[in-house]
Every structure is written in structure tokens, then in C-alpha cells.
């Protein structure tokens, strides 16, 4: 099953470069996790209303629709696994690291949709990001490392109210996100959210940003570790 899924996902990305939105879909499914109540997580409920209709999830129906023919071709895969595998194959396809993947996420029913407000607000800085990410079980390093996924993709006015990509090549997964947020003379065509610039607020976090900007391998190594954790949130619950 894994080989077939990887093949179908790779064919999709060759035809339609939707890697960024699939990465966002997977993260918005799993990022609803609450470690205290053991609710939310990578469980496929993002495809149901009301979760699908939360403002934070605007546009993600596009990713779900693109993945649906693959679910039809391999019905034994859960949506939760398909979204997460879609994300790791997307990152690898875009030049990022190879991320280990385990199957076994269960799809939960519509009644188990996560409540609204569990995903981060892009207009806020570290205190808010800490509150959101610590609920999932991440520390500051997790926030700094996972934000590097904004090397991929862009914001769209009609989806989030923001506009533009973070990097000059938004279909390539590399460490350029960190290089861009450190620039004193930012490229006006590129996006910087308050939540991106928040990574520079604390000296320790800034040091990490500087390390990742200078050393792609160090970023990839830490990214793999944090992404595996993100992709498995709620998996064992």
C-alpha cells in the first residue's frame, strides 16, 4: 500500500504542484491536538463540518479534493494517514528531507471534530504561539523548527487575508525561510507574518534561526524530528 500511495502522490505533485497546501492540510489536521485532554490530532476530522469551515482552514478543501482520487484508489488507507503521508511525500518532492512515516492513524467521526481556536493566529507573537504549541506538546524549539515549513507556499488574500510567499521559490523546501526573516532589508514581495518575526523575539530562538539560516543540514535534521512528532499527534490516543 505504501509504495502505491507514494507513487500516486508523486504523480499528483508532478501534475499539480500542490505540495504546500497538502503540507498545510496535514498540519491543520494534527495541530488541533490537545495533550491534556487527548483530543484532536491527526484523525481526519478536518474534512467534516464544522472543523472544515473554521476560518483557519479556509482553502483546505482544495487539498482534500486533490487527494480524494488517491483515497478512492487505495480505500484501505485512512484519511488521517493519507493527509500525513501526503505531507511527507510533498516535502521530499520539494527537495526537503526524507521524513520517516508510520501508518496507523484512525479516522474519527464527525462528532469528534476539534473545537475552533486551536490553531495559531498569525497576527500574534511568542506568548500566543507558546500557548498554542505547548498545548500540542511543543516547546520553543518546536515552534522555530516547524515554522521553517513556510519555505513552502504562500498566503492568499481570499483565504487568510494575507498575501504572498515567504521565499522566492515557494515550491522548494529548504532553509531560505530563516534567511529571509533575518534580512534587515526585506524583499517587499515576500511575506512576513507577525508570527514569523516572533521567532526573533527571544535570544535563544534567534540563535536557532541564525543556525538554520546558515546550515541547511542542521535545519533538516531538527525538522525531521519535529515533523514526525507533529504528524503523530493523537495517533496513540
Which residues carry out catalysis? 28
Question: What DSSP string describes 61-124?
Answer: HHHHHHHHHHHHHSTTS-HHHHHHHHHHHHHHHTT---------PPPPPGGGPPPTT-SPPTT-
Tell me how far, at minimum, the Cβ of 100 lies from ligand HEM, in Å: 16
Query: Which residue's CB is nearer to ligand HEM, number 47 or number 150?
Result: 150
| 3-11, 95-103, 150-158, 205-213 -> range binding ligand HEM (CB under 6 A) | 150-158
Tell me how far, at minimum, the Cβ of 208 lies from ligand HEM, in Å: 14
Tell me how far, at minimum, the Cβ of 159 lies from ligand HEM, in Å: 4
State which of positions 160-189 bind ligand HEM (CB under 6 A): 160, 162
> For the window 103-142, what string marks contact with ligand HEM as x by the rule CB under 6 A?
-----------------x-x------x-------------
The residue behind cell 539560516 is 213
Question: For ligand HEM, which residue of 8, 67, 82, 146 counts as binding (CB under 6 A)?
Answer: 146
Q: Which residues pair with 165 in a beta bridge?
A: 154
* All three cell numbers of 230: 507533529
Decide: is 149 part of the binding site for ligand HEM (CB under 6 A). yes
Q: Residue 80 to residues 46, 98, 128, 231: CA-CA distances in angstroms? A: 9, 19, 27, 9
Is residue 110 a contact partner of residue 46, using CB atoms and an 8 Å limit? no
State which of positions 195-234 bind ligand HEM (CB under 6 A): 195
Question: For ligand HEM, which residue of 5, 8, 13, 24 counts as binding (CB under 6 A)?
Answer: 24
d(CA 78, CA 53): 21
Burial environment of residue 111 by CB neighbours within 10 A (0 to 12, 13 to 18, 19 or more) = exposed
State which of positions 54-73 bind ligand HEM (CB under 6 A): 59
Spacing of C-alpha 14 from chain mean position: 20
The residue behind cell 484501505 is 76
Query: How many CB atoms are located within 10 Å of the residue 56 CB?
Result: 19
| 1-9, 104-112, 148-156, 179-187 -> range binding ligand HEM (CB under 6 A) | 148-156
Residues that bind ligand HEM (CB under 6 A): 20-21, 23-24, 27, 59, 120, 122, 129, 143, 146-147, 149-150, 152-156, 159-160, 162, 193, 195
Amino acid at each position: 500500500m505504501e509504495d502505491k500511495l507514494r507513487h500516486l502522490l508523486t504523480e499528483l505533485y508532478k501534475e499539480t504542484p500542490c505540495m504546500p497546501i497538502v503540507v498545510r492540510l496535514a498540519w491543520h489536521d494534527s495541530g488541533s491536538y490537545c495533550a491534556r485532554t487527548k483530543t484532536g490530532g491527526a484523525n481526519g476530522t478536518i474534512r467534516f463540518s464544522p472543523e472544515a469551515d473554521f476560518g483557519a482552514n479556509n482553502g483546505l478543501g482544495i487539498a482534500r479534493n486533490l487527494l480524494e482520487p488517491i483515497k478512492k484508489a487505495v480505500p484501505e488507507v485512512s484519511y488521517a494517514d493519507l493527509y500525513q503521508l501526503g505531507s511527507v511525500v510533498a516535502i521530499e518532492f520539494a527537495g526537503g528531507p526524507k521524513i520517516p512515516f508510520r501508518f496507523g492513524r484512525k479516522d474519527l467521526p464527525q462528532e469528534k471534530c476539534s473545537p475552533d481556536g486551536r490553531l495559531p493566529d498569525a497576527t500574534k507573537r511568542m506568548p500566543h504561539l507558546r500557548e498554542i504549541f505547548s498545548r500540542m506538546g511543543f516547546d520553543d524549539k518546536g515552534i522555530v523548527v516547524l515554522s521553517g515549513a513556510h519555505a513552502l507556499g504562500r498566503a492568499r488574500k481570499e483565504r487568510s487575508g494575507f498575501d504572498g510567499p515567504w521565499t522566492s521559490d515557494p515550491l522548494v523546501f529548504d532553509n531560505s525561510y530563516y534567511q529571509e526573516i533575518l534580512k534587515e532589508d526585506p524583499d517587499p514581495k515576500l511575506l512576513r507574518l507577525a508570527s514569523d518575526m516572533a521567532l526573533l523575539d527571544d535570544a535563544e530562538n534567534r540563535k536557532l534561526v541564525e543556525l538554520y539560516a546558515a546550515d541547511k543540514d542542521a535545519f533538516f535534521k531538527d525538522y525531521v524530528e519535529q515533523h514526525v512528532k507533529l504528524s503523530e499527534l493523537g495517533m496513540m490516543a
